[in-house]
Amino acid sequence: MPSSVTRRTAFGVFGIAGISLLSACSARSSYKGKINFNSYKGITAALYKPGTEQDPPANIPEPMYYAGLNERTAEGLYKFIGFEVAYYNYLLFRGFTSPWIERGFTDSSSCPCYSTYRDISDRWLISDTYAPLTVSIMDDMPFEGPKDNTYVWTIKLEADSAARLYDKTSHQSVNLNSLDGIGTEYKGYFEYSYGRWWILDRSFLPSSWSPGKTASF
């Protein structure tokens, strides 16, 4: 695995071929817009119970990882990004905290094994939806990255304005959309290797890089 790659093993996650193969397998001409991920295990999505200041949320649906996320196509990368954000929503509800979200989805150098968990009996996420964090694709197609088998896609992470992390002891809340980087566009950096997609740390994207050849999926 490349040294610059962040392996998100807890996400079940973020054969090498040329760009011609990638270009030949696109399912549509544009992926611009919000990603709507809807693949969850069981029926918990229908049973989701939002938290209140008295009780934590219940029946949190767990995103389901499926084979399509490993496809070396624009569609595969699109689905992979959607799964990453959906699973991060799940981990937030389950008590996971990390600089990744606190920095606004801009630092992929952290992963659950290096992060901390809050006690969800004292601090929990209050949200009308089980997916308060959403991601939008800002380009029709990803661009070829600076290295072989790497791609850059401009994305934007947003948060439900009503979603907040609540502390039962202090009775204080922090809105998710107040975190640094929320609502800001940035260049997502990805690589396809070992038969799957990976999220690369943005710091490895040369500052001089600018969009060039668009992959014609």
**Domain residue limits, the chain:** 5-204
Which of 168-187 are b and which e, b meaning 16 or more Cβ less than 10 Å from the residue's Cβ? eeeeeeeebbebeebeeebb
Contact (Cβ atoms closer than 8 angstroms) between residue 63 and residue 82: no
Q: pLDDT at position 86, please? A: 93
Say which DSSP state 42 is in: T
Q: What share of the chain is helix, strand, coil (3-state, %, to 5)?
A: 25, 25, 50
Q: What is the pTM of this model?
A: 0.76
Q: Phi and psi at residue 202, in whole multiples of 5°?
A: -60, -25
pLDDT in tens, the chain (217 residues): 443 333 232 222 222 222 233 333 456 889 999 999 999 988 777 899 999 999 999 999 999 988 889 999 999 999 999 999 998 898 888 876 554 444 333 334 434 333 444 566 788 899 999 999 999 999 999 998 888 889 999 999 999 999 998 888 889 888 888 877 788 898 888 999 999 998 888 778 888 877 777 765 4
